[in-house]
Structure 1
Amino acid sequence: MIHRRVLHDIERALGRQAAVALLGVRQAGKTTLALDIARRTDAIYLDLQTRPDRAKLSDPRLFLEQHEDRLVILDEVHRVPELFSELRGLIDRGRRHGRRTGRFLVLGSAAVELLRQAGESLAGRIEFVSLTPLDVLEVAADRRAAISLWVRGGLPDSFLASSDDDSFAFRTNFIRTYLERDVAEFVPSRLPTETLGRLWTMLAHWQGGLLRASELARSLAINTATVGRYIDSLTSLFILRRLPPFVANVRKRLVKSPKIYVRDSGLVHALLRIGDFDTLAGHPVSGASWEGFVIENLLAAAPPGSGASFYRTAAGAEMDLVLELPGCAKPWAFEIKRGLAPRPSRGLRSALEDLRPERTFVVYGGEERYPLRPGVEAIGVRPMAELLAGLRAPAPDGG
């Protein structure tokens, strides 16, 4: 089993709070991680997607009170929304008995819906932890592994597949399942599957571009509000990332639209029918795909509470990623290059004058780390992720 770095975050959260919600895209490994926790802690595991486990909670108070001294893991908890109000009463009664922490671990794949349900019933009683797909610190010890992770993406079954063909088949089926079942479950008004598939494909072509919902709507012959609603839903389901523009106090006209990314690079490639590295290397989306891949890995490594954005002016000053890190007075700035011989762009040099960041990096496709100019370093994606991960508070065991 691949060690997931988020395990330390879950353990710390369970030591602080009665309930912890583990959120992340489907197939990212939430259930595998939860079952590992259950084995090591003698926890009760219930999969609420199955009828037998839902039946055990026909009277949730009766069942859960019998296990007050054990961690209870509730998978697919959004399928039983009425359970949250019961959990609140159980948590409050447990507190009166001295059982204040580590009561419930709930798993969900829809951030907004779970946050709404939990926020209404468990305010002050729950902590949220995010599980991303596999990242370079977990599986990419060298450049070859990092390239494989970029091509296949971080969904474990895709990355660990025995061949590129098997990996591609997994991702194709994953997309089909989302289109036909999962999105319909969380989006109030449903587009035809064919139209929604075209939207996903357009977003993959648009990788790293400014979000222009009106242009997407016009191409799909639907209204802008519908596109916006689906963008919101896909963001909530951890499929998309909207990267907002950095707000700077400069006398320049700033780009105000967010940039849009399909978060898992493997899904980008499956949507565009890119099955291997050789095909990807010559495809027009290659640079934007690498940019999104690097951004996701750096954000997975960055300390909790970090703020992420990009910077762009109408005059051409640009920074691909701006990170506002806890405890840092000035942001860190990143330009992302796919090649092995990066050079700072003119847009980066202009952006440095505006942002005056604390540190600036050009994250590129190689492994060496070296200065490009005063105050700007070239660095590979894994060393950069290691540097950011080192800023996190140490885990209890020093990990």
Structure 2
Amino acid sequence: MYLRTLQHELLKLSANWSVISITGPRQSGKTTLCKIAFPNYSYVNLEHIPTRSEVAKDPAAFLDLHRNGVVIDEAQLLPELFSYVQIAVDNDKSRRIVLSGSSDFLLMKNITQSLAGRVAVLRLLPLSINELGITDNYSTDELMFKGFLPAIWGDGRNAEFVHESYLSTYVERDLRQLTKVKDLELFRKFMTLCAVRIGSEFNAMSLSNELGVSVLTIKSWIGLLEASYVCYELPPFFKNIGKRLVKTPKIYFYDVGLACHLLGIQSAQQLATHPLRGSLFENMVVSEMLKWRFNNGQRSNLSFYRDKGQHEVDIIQEFGNELRAYEIKSATMLTSDFYRNLKYIKKLLGDSILSTQVIYDGKDEWNKPEEGYINYRNWKEDNPYAVT
């Protein structure tokens, strides 16, 4: 069992918020986190059909029964409950209700309709490298192949089995709740093609042609992957700087191990020579940067820079008008070419760029404002406005 960084933020918010929502991928550890953070709260799982039916009979009575705090798992499965939660907390500000779910779309839809302004929203992704704490015992390829789902690390389960079980649960059950996807086999092929395109701009037309479905269907499907925390679209950086900037987002997976599984990678040894290894490494680092934000109760502040002149910077991190620029490289040795686009963005944006840094797989590190470099295992967000 691993101590989750988000627990600190969760407990802090519970002092002032009657309702807290925690969303995130299936098997990311939401239930375990809630039970550890709130050991005296009741726990109710609405995925259990008899329980859901019982709660649906009289939601008000159910909430009254749990006045001393309750965690309601997969809350999005009972939309009518949310209006009763609103009434309960409006009548008694001391009530404490935690709503968790693996569908951001359905949970947030119900929150927006019934609980806007009354709920603190948190997101929990799979384990971070910092939370795992034992990563020095594993090679980079082992970390990427295994991924970061807690079941693989805490319970010692086989990574391939966990990922296949995850996909089966997602495709066969979650998709049926989210939408009417008629051809589940074709949708899984779509997921695999998304994995092939990790770190690339998301081209709906290309996928439409390859799968023989409409562009609207492709856009709907990527929306489903985002809503259920399978994929993440990294937005392009935009500022009025007189350059023709790319406007299409890039695609990443929230868990790199799941992407490896979709690509048919069966071992860390196979991954070491895989043609997409560099893209998968980039995916892992981007996910770690997202985890840092979400674990501190913050939204993503990440984007990428690419213009029509083929200048590209992997990550631009925004802190108001101040920026940090990063290149992500899977290499273990530095070369001067790694800094070419970082120098370009520094010249283009001037003093708004606080630092330029390469995140890579080498041992040497140099933490300086310009042309620094750091091993990916040691990266931490450097927020110039953080309160210490």
TM-score, structure 1 normalization: 0.89
SS in 2 for 1:242: strand
8 Å contact 2:339–2:371 — kept in the other structure? no
Partner of 1:315: 309
Residue of structure 2 aligned with 1:86, choices 81, 84, 87: 84
Residue of structure 2 aligned with 1:221, choices 212, 226, 229: 212
8 Å contact 1:23–1:109 — kept in the other structure? yes
Q: Distance in 2 between matches of 1:371 and 1:55?
A: 57
Deviations 1:47-103 (A, max 9, x none): 1111343254221212322432x11110010111100000111111113xxx2xx61
Does residue 338 (structure 1) correspond to residue 316 (structure 2)? The answer is no
CA change 1:244–1:94 in 2 (3 A) is: same
Structure 1: 5+ residue stretches without partners: 395-399
Partner of 1:351: 345
8 Å contact 1:158–1:170 — kept in the other structure? yes
Q: Distance in 2 between matches of 1:285 and 1:191?
A: 30
Structure 1 residue 296: Cα displacement: 0.8
Q: Distance in 2 between matches of 1:66 and 1:241?
A: 39
SS in 1 for 2:43: strand
8 Å contact 2:196–2:263 — kept in the other structure? yes
Q: Distance in 2 between matches of 1:134 and 1:82?
A: 32
Partner of 1:178: 170
Structure 1 residue 155: Cα displacement: 0.9
Deviations 1:207-247 (A, max 9, x none): 11001001001000000000000101110111111011100
CA change 1:198–1:293 in 2 (3 A) is: same
- Match for 2:22: what amino acid? L
Q: Distance in 2 between matches of 1:239 and 1:267?
A: 9
Q: Distance in 1 between matches of 2:291 and 2:192?
A: 25
TM-score, structure 2 normalization: 0.92
Deviations 1:250-286 (A, max 9, x none): 2222111110112210011100111222111110110
Deviations 1:106-155 (A, max 9, x none): 10111121111011101121110000100111014444446233221111
Structure 2: 5+ residue stretches without partners: none
Q: Distance in 2 between matches of 1:157 and 1:201?
A: 22
Partner of 2:60: 61
SS in 2 for 1:119: helix
Q: Distance in 1 between matches of 2:128 and 2:310?
A: 31
Does residue 210 (structure 1) correspond to residue 208 (structure 2)? The answer is no
Does residue 234 (structure 1) correspond to residue 228 (structure 2)? The answer is no
Deviations 1:304-329 (A, max 9, x none): 2452100011112111011113xx53
8 Å contact 2:236–2:249 — kept in the other structure? yes
Residue of structure 2 aligned with 1:288, choices 270, 279, 294: 279
8 Å contact 2:325–2:342 — kept in the other structure? no
Partner of 2:70: 72
SS in 2 for 1:358: strand
SS in 2 for 1:370: coil
Deviations 1:177-208 (A, max 9, x none): 21222122102x31412211110111111111
- Match for 1:337: what amino acid? K
CA RMSD of aligned residues (A): 2.1
Q: Distance in 1 between matches of 2:270 and 2:201?
A: 25
Structure 1 residue 392: Cα displacement: 5.4
CA change 1:216–1:185 in 2 (3 A) is: same
Correspondence list, 1:62-211, <5 A: 62-68=61-67, 70-95=68-93, 99=94, 103-145=96-138, 147=140, 148-160=142-154, 162=156, 166-187=158-179, 189-211=180-202
Partner of 1:397: none
Aligned length: 379
Partner of 2:377: 382
Structure 1 residue 160: Cα displacement: 4.1
Partner of 1:33: 33
SS in 2 for 1:127: strand
Q: Distance in 1 between matches of 2:234 and 2:38?
A: 35
